[in-house]
Structure 1
Amino acid sequence: MNELTDKLKKIGFTEYESKIYIALLGMPPVNGNEIANLSSVPGPKVYGSLQNMVDKGVVSVVYEEGFTKPKAKYVATPYEQLLEAHFMTVTQDIDHLKSEFKKIEESRPKSILKQDLYQIVDYDLTFKTIKDLINTSQKSIYLCCWKVHEKIIRVDLESAFERGVNIVVLLFDEDKDQTQAQWRQFFHLHADVVDERHKHEINIVVDEESVIISQLEIGNVFTVVSENIALIKTTINYIRHDIYVNRVLTDFHEEAKGKYGLKLQDLLNI
Structure 2
Amino acid sequence: MEQLLHHLRNLGFTEIESKIMVDLAEHGPAGGYEVAKRLGASRSNVYAAMQRLERQGALERMSGEPLRYRALKPEELTRTISMRVEASLAFVEKSLPRGAGAPFLSMEGDKAVLDILSREIGRAKREIIVDVWREEAELLREPLAEAESRGVRVVWACDGPDHGLARTLAWSGWDDLGARSRGGRKFSFVVDRSWCMLGMRGGEQETGAVITEHPVMAELLLHHFTQQMVLFHLEQDMGEELEERYGPNFENIQREYISSGFVEDRGIDQRSDKPAETESEE
Amino acid at match of 1:216: R
Match of 1:150 in 2: 137
**2:231 & 2:180 partners in 1: Cα distance?**
16
**Conserved? CA contact 1:161–1:167, under 8 Å:** yes
Q: Which runs of 5+ in 1 are unaligned?
A: 1-104, 177-186
**2:101 & 2:149 partners in 1: Cα distance?**
29
Match of 1:188 in 2: 165
1:217 lines up with 2:202 in the alignment:
yes
> Cα distance, 1:229 vs. partner?
1.2
Alignment of 1:1-270 (within 5 A): 106=95, 115-175=102-162, 187-190=164-167, 191=170, 193=174, 195=177, 196=179, 199-217=184-202, 219-262=205-248, 264-269=250-255, 270=258
1:240–1:132 Cα change, 3 Å: same
Match of 1:102 in 2: none
**2:248 & 2:185 partners in 1: Cα distance?**
26
> Cα distance, 1:217 vs. partner?
3.0
**2:237 & 2:247 partners in 1: Cα distance?**
16
Structure 1 residue ranges (4+ consecutive) displaced by more than 4 angstroms after TM superposition: 196-199
RMSD: 2.9
**Conserved? CA contact 1:257–1:263, under 8 Å:** yes
TM-score by length of 2: 0.49
**1:169 & 1:132 partners in 2: Cα distance?**
18
* Structure with the higher strand share, 1 or 2: 1
**Conserved? CA contact 1:189–1:246, under 8 Å:** no
1:159–1:252 Cα change, 3 Å: same
Amino acid at match of 2:165: H
Q: Which runs of 5+ in 2 are unaligned?
A: 1-93, 259-282
> Cα distance, 1:215 vs. partner?
1.4
TM-score by length of 1: 0.51
Larger Rg: 1
> Cα distance, 1:220 vs. partner?
2.6
Tell me how many residue pairs correspond in the alignment: 156
Output one character per residue of 1:104-133: Cα deviation in whole Å (capped at 9) or x when no partner: x9496x6x5661221111122111111111
Amino acid at match of 2:105: Y
Amino acid at match of 1:241: Q
> Cα distance, 1:267 vs. partner?
3.8
**Conserved? CA contact 2:113–2:208, under 8 Å:** no
